[in-house]
Amino acid sequence: MKALVGIARLPIEGCGMGWETLDYAHVGWAATEFPDGRISVGSEAGGTVVVRWGLEDQEPAGLLDGRDAVGWRAVCECDWRGPLWTRVAADGEHNLGLRRVYADPGPYSDTPDDVEDALMREWEGHLEPPYLVMS
Ligand SMILES: [Zn+2]
């Protein structure tokens, strides 16, 4: 019998809410992205904890105000990154089909629920197909 490896939705230390495969090969989360490319890994009193993407050792590289974010992106510790969901300035430009999001992330970079669900689906899509194990 083959069975799909489960995917858990869980709080990941330092990363807020994230997703991981049960074999821990992939650990992803909905990151908020800032103009200089830094991405969120969580929040703490005063703002959003960000790191520079791609460093082996992702030490926190600052504390930013989520209201300065340019958008959201699904990321994974395997170095995969999904497309950017661009934050737009006006309600009328909001279009999830075009990955355009009108939302205020607040200082702690909250990801809107519907965007987070879409990011999770994108993240699931990057898993090696078919993501199967013998059981
Ligand atoms: Zn991955």
pLDDT, one tens digit per residue, over 15-33 is 556 888 888 888 899 999 9
Distance 35 CA to ligand 1 centre (A): 24
Range of the domain at 67: 2-134
Distance 34 CA to ligand 1 centre (A): 21
128 vs 96, residue with greater confidence:
96
What's the structural domain count of the chain?
1
Distance 91 CA to ligand 1 centre (A): 32
Residue 72 CA to chain centroid, in angstroms? 7
Cα dihedral 50, 56, 59, 62 sign: negative
pTM for the whole thing? Answer: 0.81
pLDDT for 2 equals 36
Distance 1 CA to ligand 1 centre (A): 25
Taking only the tens place, the pLDDT of each residue in 83-95 is 999 999 999 999 9
- Quickly list H helices, the chain: 113-125
Phi-psi region of 41 (alpha: psi -120 to 50; beta: other; left: phi over 0): alpha
Residues less than 5 Å from ion ligand 1, measured at CB: 26, 76, 78, 80
Cα–Cα distance for residue pair 106/131, rounded to 1 Å: 36
Strands (E), the chain: 2-4, 7-12, 16-21, 27-33, 39-44, 47-51, 62-64, 71-76, 85-87, 100-101, 132-134
Distance 31 CA to ligand 1 centre (A): 14
Cα–Cα distance for residue pair 25/123, rounded to 1 Å: 13
pLDDT for 59 equals 64
